[in-house]
């Protein structure tokens, strides 16, 4: 109703008083007619406004109803707890921030502790190094006591005194150097450490002699011992370690005899000195020997790498030549097939057609073999693909000796034939050909497994291993279960040589053509 009143106020000509005024002038004809028209218009407008009001009211009721539903749905979803949840979440965020601050403090403390730990570790390492030196010196003393106290020699003055024997109870055993697992750098370091121990002993004993005569005798003995050790080290060769150690002991015995026949007042001290020096000299020989072996191994590894590069270059060249040959064959087959197909299109004779089709099928089969070979060559050229071979030569190396190598040759047997040349008296027997997409890694893995079975432990290029064929088969089965393994050692030429009562003669000839045929068959 308020809407209606407002609209009527805006339009004055539709006011009730104005329409009544027009109707009151009925005697004038036109005014009453105008009043009736305005009354009709006013009635229509009021009706329309009433309809709008009803619609608005209905929409309002609908919105109220939907609002009620929304509130109920929110209550079911727990939206009313949002404020509390948000409050709890804010509280947790505050706790997390506090924890982060605490974590940062702990991290800084950990960093400080790590720095302290590093300092302590360095200090411990230094002390351990000093202790190791002391233990080695004690070890040299122990060696002197064990080897020179009860020595059956005619020189009484060379025996150690009771005071020295009492000191032996305080000597603690030291850990022996694990020379076999040391590299060249660490061995050189160990040798320098041993030299420091020798210098330490020399200085200690040098202080014991006060007279010029005794000091001169001691200095001459030191110079002579140093020279003897240098000669032994200079002559040190592979597999000569035991001989070098015996030379050290012979030198010690020689100078022990000199000490016993010389100044009797210093004979006991010199005996102890020689015993301690002998131990350290033997240590020096062991270290130098292992250094020599490691150096030779490194040299052989470089040579092996160069040899591998040379072989790979030769194999790449051979593969390239083989690829050119295969491409020529492929082109020849394609040309021949195209010619036959052209001939076939113009031929009407059924028998000729059948012959041409058969010939085309034959050429296509041969072409497919050529295509497969071309793909194999491409794979060998582009990747690490190759063949790991396991071979033996009973007549040349005896039983349980096998060579494990790798080749990129398209035909691995060609490589085996090269190995069985004039350098060995008999041909090699093949026990397994293992093709791999990464033949280098496969070979390295097998060499690593068989490393302690190497026949030549210095030259890594000599890929021969001492192992039973059953053990070798088991290793191959574990690494590559699908690989074929032949346990039979044919050694045909070797067995024929053993069974022959007489030597082979050259009283017969073989035609060159026959030799070529045999080579083709192989």
pLDDT in tens, 143-193: 666 666 555 555 455 544 555 444 444 433 333 444 445 566 777 777 788
Give me the phi and psi of 154, to 5 degrees please: -80, 10
- Does the structure show a pLDDT above 90 at 344? no
502-515 confidence digits (pLDDT tens): 444 444 444 444 44
Please, which pLDDT band fits residue 466 given cuts at 50, 70 and 90? very high
d(CA 344, CA 359): 11
Average pLDDT over residues 369-388: 73
Check: CB of residue 165 under 8 Å from CB of residue 152.
Answer: no
Percent of the chain beyond pLDDT 90?
3
Task: Give how far Cα 270 sits from Cα of 167, 228, 255, 274, 402, Å.
Answer: 17, 17, 9, 6, 54
pLDDT score recorded for residue 513: 45
> For the whole model, what pTM was predicted?
0.36
Residue with tokens 């009771």: 162
d(CA 389, CA 405): 5
71-121 confidence digits (pLDDT tens): 777 666 665 566 677 778 888 888 888 888 888 888 888 888 888 888 888
Q: What is the DSSP letter of 171?
A: P
d(CA 254, CA 229): 13
Check: CB of residue 440 under 8 Å from CB of residue 406.
Answer: yes
149 vs 480, more confident: 480
d(CA 145, CA 139): 10
Tokens at residue 58, please? 């209905």
Q: Which residues, listed in sequence order, are joined to residue 386 by a DSSP beta bridge?
A: 436
Please, which pLDDT band fits residue 492 given cuts at 50, 70 and 90? confident
Neighbour count for residue 254 (Cβ, 10 Å): 13
Tokens at residue 329, please? 């064959």
Q: Which residues, listed in sequence order, are joined to residue 433 by a DSSP beta bridge?
A: 389
397-441 confidence digits (pLDDT tens): 888 899 998 887 778 888 888 887 767 888 899 999 988 878 888
d(CA 77, CA 74): 5
Check: CB of residue 436 under 8 Å from CB of residue 418.
Answer: no
Phi-psi label, residue 421: left if phi above 0, alpha if psi -120 to 50, beta otherwise: beta
pLDDT score recorded for residue 494: 82
User: Any residues with CB less than 8 A from the CB of 376 and at least 6 apart, and which?
Assistant: 410
Give me the phi and psi of 387, to 5 degrees please: -125, 125
Task: Give how far Cα 90 sits from Cα of 78, 95, 125, Å.
Answer: 18, 9, 51
Tokens at residue 258, please? 């000199």
16-70 confidence digits (pLDDT tens): 777 677 677 766 666 777 767 777 777 787 788 888 888 888 888 888 888 787 7
pLDDT score recorded for residue 150: 53
Strands annotated E in 14-68: none
Check: CB of residue 468 under 8 Å from CB of residue 480.
Answer: no
Task: Give how far Cα 39 sits from Cα of 19, 33, 121, 330, Å.
Answer: 7, 10, 112, 109
d(CA 323, CA 381): 10
d(CA 252, CA 278): 6
505 vs 381, more confident: 381
């Amino acid at each position: 109703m308020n809407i209606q009143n407002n609209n009527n106020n805006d339009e004055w000509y539709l006011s009730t008083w104005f329409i009544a005024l027009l109707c009151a002038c009925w005697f004038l004809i036109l005014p009453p007619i105008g009043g009736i028209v305005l009354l009709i218009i006013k009635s229509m407008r009021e009706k329309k406004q009433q309809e709008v009001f009803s619609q608005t009211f209905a929409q309002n009721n609908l919105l109220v109803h939907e609002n009620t539903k929304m509130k109920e749905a929110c209550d079911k979803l727990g939206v009313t707890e949002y404020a509390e949840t948000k409050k709890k979440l804010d509280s947790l965020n505050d706790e997390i921030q506090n924890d982060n601050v605490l974590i940062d403090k702990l991290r800084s403390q950990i960093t400080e502790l790590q720095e302290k730990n590093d300092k302590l570790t360095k200090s411990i390492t230094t002390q351990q190094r000093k202790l190791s030196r002391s233990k080695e010196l004690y070890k040299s003393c122990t060696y002197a006591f064990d080897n020179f106290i009860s020595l059956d020699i005619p020189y009484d003055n060379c025996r150690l005194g009771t005071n020295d024997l009492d000191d032996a109870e305080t000597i603690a055993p030291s850990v022996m150097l694990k020379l076999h697992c040391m590299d060249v750098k660490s061995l050189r370091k160990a040798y320098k450490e041993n030299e420091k121990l020798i210098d330490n002993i020399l200085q200690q004993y040098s202080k014991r002699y006060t007279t010029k005569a005794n000091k001169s005798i001691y200095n001459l003995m030191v110079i002579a011992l140093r020279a003897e050790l240098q000669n032994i080290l200079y002559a040190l060769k592979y597999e000569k370690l035991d001989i070098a150690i015996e030379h050290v002991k012979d030198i010690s015995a020689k100078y022990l005899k000199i000490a016993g026949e010389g100044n009797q007042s210093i004979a006991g001290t010199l005996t102890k000195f020689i015993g301690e020096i002998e131990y350290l000299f033997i240590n020096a020989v062991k270290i130098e020997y292992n250094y020599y072996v490691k150096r030779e191994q490194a040299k052989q590894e470089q040579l092996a790498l160069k040899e591998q590069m040379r072989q790979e270059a030769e194999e790449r060249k051979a593969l390239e030549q083989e690829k050119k040959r295969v491409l020529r064959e492929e082109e020849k087959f394609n040309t021949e097939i195209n010619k036959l197909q052209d001939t076939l299109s113009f031929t009407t004779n059924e028998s000729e057609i059948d012959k041409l089709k058969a010939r085309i099928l034959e050429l296509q089969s041969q072409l497919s073999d050529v295509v497969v070979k071309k793909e194999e060559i491409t794979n060998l050229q582009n990747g690490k693909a190759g063949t790991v071979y396991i071979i033996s030569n009973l007549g040349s190396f005896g039983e349980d000796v096998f060579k494990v190598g790798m080749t990129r040759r398209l035909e691995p047997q060609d490589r085996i034939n090269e190995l069985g040349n004039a350098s060995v008296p008999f041909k090699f027997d093949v026990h397994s050909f293992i093709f791999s997409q990464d033949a280098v890694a496969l070979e390295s893995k097998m060499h690593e497994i068989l490393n302690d079975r190497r026949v030549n432990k210095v030259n890594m290029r000599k890929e021969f291993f001492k192992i039973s064929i059953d053990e070798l088969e088991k290793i191959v089965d574990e690494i590559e279960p699908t690989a074929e393994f032949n346990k039979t050692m044919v050694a045909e030429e070797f067995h024929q040589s053993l069974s022959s009562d007489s030597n082979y003669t050259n009283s017969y000839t073989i035609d060159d053509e026959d030799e070529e045929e045999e080579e083709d068959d192989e």
